[in-house]
Structure 1
Amino acid sequence: MLYRAFLRVVDLLPLPSLRVQRVLAFIAILTQGGIAVTGAVVRVTGSGLGCPTWPQCFPGSFTPVGVSEVPVLHQAVEFGNRLLAFVVVISAAAVVLAVVRARRRQEVLLFAWLMPLGTVVQAVIGGFTVLTGLLWWTVAVHLVVSMGMVWLATLLYAKIGESDTAPESTPTVPAALRALTGLSALALTGVLVAGTMVTGAGPHAGDKSIEEPVPRLGIEIVTLVHAHSQFLIGYLALLIGLGFALYAVGAPQVVKRRLHVLIALVLAQSLIGLVQYFTGVPAVLVAFHVAGAGACTAATAAVWAACRTRGPAAAAPTQNTEGAALGS
């Protein structure tokens, strides 16, 4: 009943073209990855407690308050990051409205609804991070979940571009190579988790407090860097092996082209990591490294999505029965 009322309201909106739907999905990818980058800026500028409470910025105020204990810059950086969360919510809501109005198939609707739901989860995690005083593992969870949202947003973009009328998706590569692509995604997960541990033991705690410094991960950072790099080497080796296999079986150009982009991004990300290690982890490179992590995650998801397809979607949206049935 409630969803039917929602559909009646949504039907008052203009019918979005396929291009509009894809643009909105692409914006969702950018915002989900972008807020991870601004979160890194918060951390490296020591602004993590620029707003020391949550959901309010200061007790009794949702906006920054002029207090001597918290520098204005730190308040502005942290509050700006919180404001960006509203942009993420708006972009997530926009893509939901677009695909619901176009009556896309149930699979597309599911991935679209995961955008606002995931954003709410991220907001709760962010609040927990602030309330626990920026404990390193809460920051790590925050980043890993952000990368998961980038993955889901990329799959949403791919699925929006597919046909709603095809009975099911068909493989574009042998099952073994799709499994290898999935294994590379697991290796990427290992890279990300190990990277968050390096951050947890590193110098950028997110808070400039001298009286009560944020506890760091008590493992020697060089050991963690080596573990992070070993995961990266394994990830890259899997991608190179996948590339040779794709050429051997004559995989479609779209799969090979996406893999080329992914390998280039991983190599660039590796270079940033090396420069970070040998230059003492300068703050500016942390933001670039987080952006690179988001780009590698999106590119890996794009390769995974290209391993199966339902065929291209029609240029004009259709009121398909599967999408309409979801609201019945």
Structure 2
Amino acid sequence: MPKSLNLFELLASRWHPSARFVRRAALAAVVMAVVIVVTGGAVRLTQSGLGCPTWPTCTEESLTPTHAMGINGVIEFGNRLLTYVLCAVVGLVILAARCHKPWRHSLTRLGWVQFWIVMGNAVVGGITVLTGLNPYIVSSHFLLSTALLTVAVITWQRTRESDAAPRDLVSRPVRQLTSLLVLATAALIVIGTVVTGAGPHAGDAEKVHRIPLDWQEITQLHVDFVYIVVGLTVALWFTLRAVGAAAAPRRTVVELFVVLLAQGVIGYVQYFTHLPEVVVGAHMFGSCLVWIAVLRVFLAQRERAGTDPGATGGTARDLTGETADAAPAEPAGADRALAGR
């Protein structure tokens, strides 16, 4: 008797998406991860956090917002609906990775990690509403969204690589400096989340509990970490230049520096203009770009031998969209110069 096929196997036997399609699906997941952060911020900034006062339905009697709930109910419910769009995009990543020939199990696993983060964050979002916008739950809701963005970016990068073991392209001290930059940026984002939890934009017009800290003092700490991250970025650029790194990885550091400068300008504008909603929203969007840029810097410092199994022409694409030949032999010396990608 022939072995029965499950749904995934049946679909994989009929649909064979190209490597380019898989990459585009992974990129769409990155975009949606950013969109869900920005729209979640819009919910808070428009005081729509309790636009739907219960969860998973909008009211105890209705799944959708009623006319009496006004624009706040529409905004909150619209953000909930975007979660379904995000699930659909992540599902597409999983299916495309599963049906691509040859099947790359690593991509499928990364897709499922994204799916379960989305599911967990949906529950946290519900708890946020049921607890009346508890600032600690709201903060964890944002940080889980950042975790989703992290996995989405890694998945996108992995669609442009083979499944060979990664090889460092720079020496250990350079990698350690880069890791320190990543950790400092993560701390910057966490402190920014605390500023939000203690600041004036509580997410609802009614009195909402806030983190009992002086938000201006926390803001100063946030600014201090901005200087630390900028300093580490400059130090990393000079280090890569000193060890003879190729232009592509140095360019990712320059891109990070530019994003940091733009984000710093927005941060100062929002502070001195007393936190207008539009500028705060732009700052949240900028935080996503900063985190993506930092991940790009980190991922640019290693490579996997060979090419994408589904690619043709003997080339694979990296995050910058440039084509690269198969990895050359590892250079000798304490510092490995990056082979031109």
Q: Give me the TM-score of the superposition, normalised by structure 2.
A: 0.86
- Cross-structure match for 2:181: 184
Alignment of 1:202-221 (within 5 A): 202-209=199-206, 213-221=207-215
Structure 1's consecutive aligned runs of 4 or more residues displaced over 4 angstroms after TM superposition are none
In the alignment, which of 69, 77, 80 is matched to residue 79 of structure 1? 77
Does 2:255 correspond to 1:258?
no
- Cross-structure match for 2:88: 90
Distance 1:111 1:304 in 2: 18
Distance 2:45 2:152 in 1: 26
**What are structure 1's unaligned runs of at least 5 residues?**
318-328
- Cross-structure match for 1:230: 224
- Cross-structure match for 1:322: none
- Cross-structure match for 1:31: 32
SS of the residue corresponding to residue 111 of structure 2 reads helix
Distance 2:10 2:119 in 1: 23
Tell me the CA shift for residue 254 of structure 1: 2.2
Tell me the CA shift for residue 86 of structure 1: 0.9
Tell me the CA shift for residue 314 of structure 1: 4.4
Distance 1:249 1:236 in 2: 20
Distance 1:13 1:134 in 2: 46
Contact 1:177 1:242 in 2 (8 A): yes
SS of the residue corresponding to residue 6 of structure 2 reads helix
- Cross-structure match for 2:315: none
- Cross-structure match for 1:292: 286
Contact 2:11 2:99 in 1 (8 A): yes
Tell me the CA shift for residue 249 of structure 1: 1.0
Tell me the CA shift for residue 14 of structure 1: 2.4
| Aligned AA (2:84) | F
Contact 2:52 2:77 in 1 (8 A): yes
Alignment of 1:63-212 (within 5 A): 63-67=64-68, 70=69, 72-102=70-100, 103-164=102-163, 166=164, 168-209=165-206
Tell me the CA shift for residue 316 of structure 1: 3.7
- Cross-structure match for 1:50: 51
SS of the residue corresponding to residue 15 of structure 1 reads coil
Contact 2:8 2:95 in 1 (8 A): no
SS of the residue corresponding to residue 170 of structure 1 reads strand
Contact 1:184 1:238 in 2 (8 A): yes
Does 1 or 2 have the higher relative contact order (CA < 8 Å, sep 6+)?
A: 1
Greater share of helix:
1
| Aligned AA (1:247) | R
Tell me the CA shift for residue 258 of structure 1: 1.3
Distance 2:62 2:98 in 1: 36
Distance 1:308 1:3, change over 3 A: farther
Aligned residues: 308
Distance 1:95 1:5, change over 3 A: same
1:123-149 Cα offsets, whole Å, 9 max, x none, are: 011111111100111111111111111
Contact 2:98 2:105 in 1 (8 A): no
Tell me the CA shift for residue 180 of structure 1: 1.6
SS of the residue corresponding to residue 309 of structure 1 reads strand
- Cross-structure match for 2:337: none
Contact 1:261 1:299 in 2 (8 A): yes
Distance 1:113 1:161 in 2: 18
Tell me the CA shift for residue 9 of structure 1: 2.5
Contact 2:45 2:277 in 1 (8 A): yes
Contact 1:172 1:252 in 2 (8 A): no
SS of the residue corresponding to residue 155 of structure 2 reads helix
Distance 1:280 1:293 in 2: 19
Tell me the CA shift for residue 156 of structure 1: 0.6
Tell me the CA shift for residue 315 of structure 1: 4.8
Q: Give me the TM-score of the superposition, normalised by structure 1.
A: 0.90
- Share of identical aligned residues, percent? 36
Contact 1:57 1:63 in 2 (8 A): yes
